[in-house]
């Protein structure tokens, strides 16, 4: 059972629910301010953390070190370019069976998982190959 959400947590949850892409905490803060909702940046971070601990929000770190958040509605998998930072979603997941085994064997409640492969996209790879000696 989910704990009752505070007003700030509810606002962050609603905003994430209305956003179709991942979003940074700073962008969440800016959008809440634009909506006239008075919530400090530190409170936004606390709300995100509380929602994560309830399994409602998932996070991942970008190649520039910035964290992005989204609702934990589905597992996410990406191919991420180390040069340009672009992430491309991957539809299939080889980890679902492993997740179920870990939950059963380790008695661990998994809210979500991410799988990310890092390398060079075709554009950056071509640029890299052209400069090779």
* Phi-psi group of 58: left, alpha or beta (phi > 0 → left; psi -120 to 50 → alpha; rest → beta): beta
Q: Is 121 annotated as a binding residue?
A: yes
Cα 78 to Cα 54: distance, rounded to the nearest angstrom: 24
Q: Is 113 annotated as a binding residue?
A: yes
Task: Compute, in degrees rounded to 10, the torsion defined by CA atoms 7, 11, 17, 19.
Answer: -170
Q: Is 124 annotated as a binding residue?
A: yes
Ordered strands of the 87-89 beta sheet: 87-89, 76-81, 114-119
Q: Is 84 annotated as a binding residue?
A: yes
Question: Which residues make up each annotated binding site?
Answer: 81, 84, 113, 121, 124
Question: Which residues make up each annotated binding site for Fe cation?
Answer: 113
Question: Which residues make up each annotated binding site for Zn(2+)?
Answer: 81, 84, 121, 124
């Amino acid at each position: 059972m989910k704990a009752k959400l505070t007003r700030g947590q509810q606002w962050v949850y609603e905003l994430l629910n209305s956003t179709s892409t991942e979003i940074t905490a700073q962008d969440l803060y800016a959008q809440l301010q634009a909506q006239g909702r008075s919530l400090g940046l530190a409170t936004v971070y606390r709300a995100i953390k509380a929602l994560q601990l309830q399994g409602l929000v998932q996070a991942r770190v970008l190649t520039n070190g910035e964290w992005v958040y989204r609702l934990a509605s589905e597992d996410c998998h990406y191919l991420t370019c180390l040069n340009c930072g672009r992430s491309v979603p991957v539809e299939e997941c080889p980890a679902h069976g492993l997740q179920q085994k870990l939950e059963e064997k380790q008695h661990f409640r998994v809210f979500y998982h991410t799988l990310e492969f890092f390398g060079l996209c075709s554009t950056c790879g071509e640029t890299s190959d052209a400069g090779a000696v």
